[in-house]
């Protein structure tokens, strides 16, 4: 059966304006999303684990009734939003993309992030697929199927084979890329929002971790886990961030406004994150930097020695250690039920000692201090989100060694931001239809407003 492709979701404000103008309704938006999810040859069966069609219709009808009465809860009111499978939704099972949790009791309450979306009037359309327990940057899932990037090409000898959407928020990205949701709620521990955004030609925002609540979210790493969203553009991500952020951590909208790149000083990371780029990414990266320089940005190459030390520092890493702590009881009786690729990564944390964990905490603190000193005077730092274009699904499934090496490569760049307790936006820097390449604009902790403002201006420049 030929693959069915749908256009990506429109920007949130555009959809909200159409609702305000009466040219569409929430119910119509939801019906379109449901049709695309169910379409033969589409990616809905891979992107979604559970679709709450009746519940979405009820929520849409309620928002339409409120709008007719003159009540609009937020710009998100009436828009269909997908929810990654590791978030608690009242009355639903939180399986985290696994079969290990198939019999877990339904959640008794919404996770705070879900509750905030619901209060804003978002229509929760369904639970999206993901890497099992969020422990992969590629999005493969042997139990639920693997969501696909909307792009494929045969120039690398794959003959147009289906390619990964990226992980771990694979279904979230696929849902937006195929217009099955207006935005996708996801999480990011080492790139799980930004990798799929880059692989699907979308925008992903990883806020400073403390700014958004992780309660009611099945943990991978309690140190690094972050809640955020994937959406069509930076303005959409900023809107979602206003809804999701914890009181006291809201982005100052004045700080986030920027109309020019003139005088903006950007550190262009020149070591570690630029190694192993494929030709497509390297060309897109250089072309993007040229556009930014012509627009007035001051690009300063910066070598950060601390980055070269990260593989040694993270010989265990927070995610394996903390994931092992969360799963160790289940491993006694259910190890055979895990994806073997995920199980191997969890078991890697078993050998770590308390002293190793304390060393890791100290090394992270020192790295953050070093980065703060090195980046002083810069408005943001930039790097390729991922050094390769989306790889073919079949090759990753067939060869364990290829999967492991590719997974490490795609996680390498975005995980820098998590380790440094920073924030980052991944922007598409190639035109629609071309091989998708992401450019990351990043800052250290609580630089979210500045990063969003610079990213939105850069988005305009990159789009021409």
Q: Which residues form the catalytic set?
A: 84, 168, 192
Q: The tokens of 99 are what?
A: 């079969």
Q: Residue 379's CB: how many other CB atoms inside 10 A?
A: 21
> 214, 326 in Cβ contact below 8 A?
no
Question: How far from each other are the two terminal CA atoms of the chain, in whole angstroms?
Answer: 37
The torsion defined by the Cα of 180, 131, 284 and 372, in degrees rounded to 10, comes to 120
What span, in angstroms and rounded, lies between the C-alpha atoms of 24 and 186?
27
Residues ≥6 apart with Cβ < 8 Å to 441: 380, 382, 424, 425, 427, 451, 454, 455, 458
Tokens of 211: 């700014």
Q: Are 227 and 214 in contact (CB under 8 A)?
A: yes
Q: Which residues pair with 87 in a beta bridge?
A: 217
Pick the closest to residue 415 from 372, 375, 460, 364 (CA basis): 364
307 phi/psi in degrees, rounded to 5: -65, -40
Would strands 380-384 and 438-443 be described as parallel, antiparallel, or unpaired?
antiparallel
CA distances from 62 to 53, 68, 73, 79, 224 (A): 14, 10, 12, 12, 37
């Amino acid at each position: 059966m030929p693959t069915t492709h749908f256009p990506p979701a429109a920007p949130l404000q555009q959809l909200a304006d159409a609702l305000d103008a009466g040219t569409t309704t929430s119910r119509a938006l939801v019906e379109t999303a449901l049709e695309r999810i169910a379409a033969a040859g589409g990616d809905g069966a891979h992107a979604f684990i559970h679709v709450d069609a009746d519940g979405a219709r009820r929520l849409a009808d309620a928002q339409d009734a409120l709008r007719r009465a003159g009540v609009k809860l937020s710009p998100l009111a009436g828009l269909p939003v997908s929810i990654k499978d590791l978030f608690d939704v009242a009355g639903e099972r939180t399986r985290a993309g696994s079969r290990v949790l198939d019999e877990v009791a339904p959640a008794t309450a919404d996770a705070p992030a879900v509750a905030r979306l619901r209060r804003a009037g978002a229509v929760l359309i369904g639970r999206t697929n993901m890497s099992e327990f969020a422990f992969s940057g590629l999005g493969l899932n042997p139990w639920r199927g693997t969501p696909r990037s909307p792009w494929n090409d045969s120039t690398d000898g794959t003959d147009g084979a289906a390619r990964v959407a990226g992980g771990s928020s694979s279904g979230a990205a696929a849902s937006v890329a195929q217009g099955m949701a207006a935005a996708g709620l996801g999480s990011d521990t080492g790139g799980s929002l930004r990798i799929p955004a880059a692989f699907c030609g979308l925008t992903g925002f990883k806020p400073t971790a403390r700014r958004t609540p992780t309660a009611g979210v099945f943990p991978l790493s309690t140190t690094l886990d972050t809640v955020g969203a994937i959406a069509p553009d930076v303005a959409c991500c900023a809107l979602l961030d206003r809804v999701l952020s914890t009181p006291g951590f809201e982005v100052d909208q004045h700080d986030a406004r920027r109309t020019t790149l003139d005088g903006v000083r950007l550190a262009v990371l020149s070591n570690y994150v630029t190694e192993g780029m494929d030709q497509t990414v390297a060309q897109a990266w250089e072309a993007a930097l040229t556009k930014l320089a012509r627009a007035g940005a001051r690009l300063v190459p910066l070598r950060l020695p601390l980055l070269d030390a990260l593989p040694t520092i993270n010989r265990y890493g927070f995610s394996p250690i903390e994931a092992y702590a969360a799963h160790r009881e289940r491993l006694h009786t259910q190890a055979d039920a895990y994806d073997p690729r995920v199980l191997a990564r969890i078991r890697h944390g078993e050998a770590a000692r308390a002293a190793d964990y304390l060393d890791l905490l100290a090394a992270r603190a020192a790295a953050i201090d070093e980065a703060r000193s090195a980046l002083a005077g810069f408005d943001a730092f930039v790097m390729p989100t991922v050094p390769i274009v989306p790889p073919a699904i079949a090759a990753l499934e067939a060869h364990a060694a290829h999967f492991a090496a590719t997974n490490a490569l795609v996680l390498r760049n975005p995980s820098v931001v998590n380790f440094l307790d920073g924030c980052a936006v991944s922007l598409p820097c190639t035109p629609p239809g071309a091989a998708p390449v992401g450019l990351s604009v990043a800052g250290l902790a609580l630089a979210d407003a500045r990063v969003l403002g610079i990213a939105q201006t850069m988005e305009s420049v990159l789009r021409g």
